[in-house]
Structure 1
């Protein structure tokens, strides 16, 4: 039997998992870097909250729902893969932004020398 405290932690964790999935979807759907930064920051907060909830469940020896913890492990692995994809995309965007800025500076320099 699951205690009320366990039930609340499980509900909180399930809600955070859904919020994480939504945040990843929003990040993948956006093209503007400014909004990406806000969503990535929100996602970092969600992941921290998720970790705190997971730690509380794992630390409690009376929580014995192994299948739930296995699902959370699968979710963690899934979130990790998605986070790596987002990180790679953001790094690529950052690199392209720097490249474009160098090109603009080169054009400005050429224009200034006319």
Structure 2
């Protein structure tokens, strides 16, 4: 196999899984929801208050997507009225390192960009 073909395979071997991850986490709201739930279980209203600017409709949609991808768990309690609580799954918590690295990069990037202002 030629070097160019090996390089192409290696490149694709990196691009495909990164695209898969971006497909699951894409959008403006999924990571903020994951971050908020990383600080503990929350009810819908608590999440809505925790994430400024998100609408109830968008929060509901994003929570369904995150639940479908097994990152968030929705628990319904048999109370009057019914109580629904959201939490990160162990799989969702596996993103902790990724989120922390994004946070570090974001802090560094903000400093770099603001320096030029």
* Fold equivalence (TM over 0.5): no
TM-score normalised per structure 1: 0.33
Give the structure with the higher percent helix. 1
TM-score normalised per structure 2: 0.32
Give the structure with the higher percent strand. 2
Larger radius of gyration: 1
- For CA contacts below 8 A with separation 6 or more, give which structure has more relative contact order: 1
